[in-house]
């Protein structure tokens, strides 16, 4: 049988990425060019700088992905691309590249929502069963997404203010840690103990999230300690913040699992790389016997194009194609 090969482009934030996936299984190549070194000098992503670097990198990353896979464009069946959400200038570069390839080589163009990509990253670890519940935790999103069947998305709850990754990055900045702060807090917290008390988060809808109160509480604590000239113990503060933030995620996930018919629970997004969250999510199996729990492989947690190629394969098979009028949608909704 003829193989289906999807080439995907992801450029929604500060990673220029191209990957090729065969038959929704085999990862033939996965190239990610990160701009972290540039943006960390500024303590966060500078959108204008990000788009310029995407322009410089995209053809190099594309050539490398084809070379690693040992394929030519003629052997690719369709071009998948992230068309939102994300930084408009960054998305635009990936979409222009995808459209140029689709037009020149006469291939179908398949638009993919960035979060659909994060969710389907789990397909590199496991076959997925439905109904499925995804806990999406990234720099821009914190959501509980329900999939009654393949590629159908319903948002059960979302953050009312900051995304969890954003909260990690802001707390890290207060502690003088480099951007992105998530991995640094993850490491620090391993050596922390229960010491600081942070307030419990309150949300109106019990499946929604809120992290700005927690973030402000950390800022207040640090400024209070500075005023009385007492040193903060960074490990203990990282520990307190992380336990509070992750506790909120797990509590809401459990509430949704209790209320909805779910066969498979998956974690998704950059914060899925967090070691403590991975531990906590694995424990859900004990509370919900019969539930299949999957966490994405470490290499597929933060932004990459392999996940877009995986979701793109399903979208391609479902006939979800776009024409060449496709444009970037920075606020694109999943459902």
Which residues contribute to the site for ligand KG4 (CB under 6 A)?
13, 138-140, 165, 168-169, 180-183, 186, 269-271, 273-274, 302-303
What residue 183 binds from ligand KG4, Zn ion, none (CB within 5 to 8 A, per partner kind)?
A: ligand KG4
- Name the residue among 35, 76, 37, 78 with its Cα closest to residue 58: 35
| 16, 30, 35, 138: residue in contact with Zn ion (rule CB under 5 A) | 138
Minimum CB distance to ligand KG4 smaller for 77 or for 161: 161
Q: Find the shortest distance in angstroms from Cβ 236 to ligand KG4.
A: 17
- Name the residue among 150, 81, 88 with its Cα closest to residue 111: 81
Interacting positions 24-63 with Zn ion (CB under 5 A): none
DSSP string of 137-163?
ESSS-EEEEEESSTT--EEEEEBSS--
Minimum CB distance to ligand KG4 smaller for 47 or for 183: 183
Q: Find the shortest distance in angstroms from Cβ 166 to ligand KG4.
A: 6
What residue 168 binds from ligand KG4, Zn ion, none (CB within 5 to 8 A, per partner kind)?
A: ligand KG4
| 10, 14, 15, 303: residue in contact with Zn ion (rule CB under 5 A) | 303
Assess 304 for contact with Zn ion (CB under 5 A): no
How far apart CA 136 and CA 222 sit, in angstroms, is 29
Q: Find the shortest distance in angstroms from Cβ 15 to ligand KG4.
A: 7
φ, ψ of residue 147 to 5 degrees: the values are -115, 105
121-159 in b/e burial notation, b at 16+ Cβ within 10 A? bbbbeeebebebbbbbbbbbbbbbbbbeeeeebebbbbb
3-state secondary structure of 294: strand
Q: Find the shortest distance in angstroms from Cβ 12 to ligand KG4.
A: 7
CB 92 within 8 A of CB 317: no
Q: Find the shortest distance in angstroms from Cβ 103 to ligand KG4.
A: 28
Minimum CB distance to ligand KG4 smaller for 94 or for 270: 270
Q: Find the shortest distance in angstroms from Cβ 60 to Zn ion.
A: 22
How far apart CA 292 and CA 25 sit, in angstroms, is 20
How far apart CA 245 and CA 233 sit, in angstroms, is 18
Assess 166 for contact with Zn ion (CB under 5 A): no
Minimum CB distance to Zn ion smaller for 96 or for 138: 138
Q: Find the shortest distance in angstroms from Cβ 136 to ligand KG4.
A: 9
CB 317 within 8 A of CB 77: no
Q: What DSSP state is assigned to residue 205? A: S
| Cα 310-320-106 angle, rounded to 5 deg | 90
- Token readout for 157 is 């709850």
Give the interface segment with Zn ion, choosing from 20-28, 124-132, 285-293, 295-303 (CB under 5 A): 295-303
How far apart CA 146 and CA 156 sit, in angstroms, is 7
What residue 94 binds from Zn ion, ligand KG4, none (CB within 5 to 8 A, per partner kind)?
A: none
State the DSSP H helix or E strand holding residue 219, giving kind and residue range, or none if neither. helix 212-227
Minimum CB distance to ligand KG4 smaller for 32 or for 65: 32
Residues that bind Zn ion (CB under 5 A): 138, 303
């Amino acid at each position: 049988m003829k193989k289906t090969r999807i080439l995907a482009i992801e450029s929604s934030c500060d990673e220029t990425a191209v990957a090729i996936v065969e038959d929704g299984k085999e990862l033939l190549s996965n190239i990610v060019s990160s701009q972290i070194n540039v943006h960390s000098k500024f303590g966060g992503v500078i959108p204008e700088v990000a788009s310029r670097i995407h322009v410089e990198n995209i053809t190099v990353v594309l050539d490398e992905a084809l070379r690693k896979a040992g394929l030519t464009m003629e052997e690719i069946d369709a071009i998948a691309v992230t068309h939102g959400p994300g930084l408009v200038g960054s998305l635009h570069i990936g979409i222009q590249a995808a459209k140029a390839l689709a037009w020149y080589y006469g291939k179908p163009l398949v638009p993919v929502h960035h979060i659909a990509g994060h969710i389907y990253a789990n397909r590199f670890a496991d076959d997925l069963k439905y109904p499925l519940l995804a806990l999406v935790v990234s720099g821009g999103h914190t959501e509980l997404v329900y999939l009654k069947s393949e590629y159908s998305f319903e948002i059960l709850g979302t953050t009312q203010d900051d995304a969890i990754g954003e909260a990690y990055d802001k707390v890290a900045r207060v502690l003088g840690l480099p951007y992105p702060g998530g991995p640094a807090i993850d490491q620090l917290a391993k050596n922390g103990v229960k010491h600081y008390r942070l307030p419990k988060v309150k949300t109106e809808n019990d499946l929604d999230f809120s992290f700005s109160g927690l973030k402000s509480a950390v800022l207040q604590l640090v400024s209070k300690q500075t005023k009385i000239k007492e040193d903060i113990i960074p490990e203990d503060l990282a520990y307190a913040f992380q336990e509070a933030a992750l506790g909120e995620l797990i509590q809401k996930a459990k509430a949704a699992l209790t209320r909805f018919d779910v066969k498979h629970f998956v974690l998704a997004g950059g914060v899925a790389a967090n070691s403590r969250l991975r531990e906590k999510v694995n424990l859900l199996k004990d509370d919900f016997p019969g539930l299949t729990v999957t966490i994405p492989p470490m290499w597929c947690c933060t932004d990459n194009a392999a996940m877009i190629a995986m979701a793109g394969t399903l979208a391609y098979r479902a006939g979800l194609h776009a024409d060449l009028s496709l444009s970037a949608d920075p606020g694109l909704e999943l459902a």
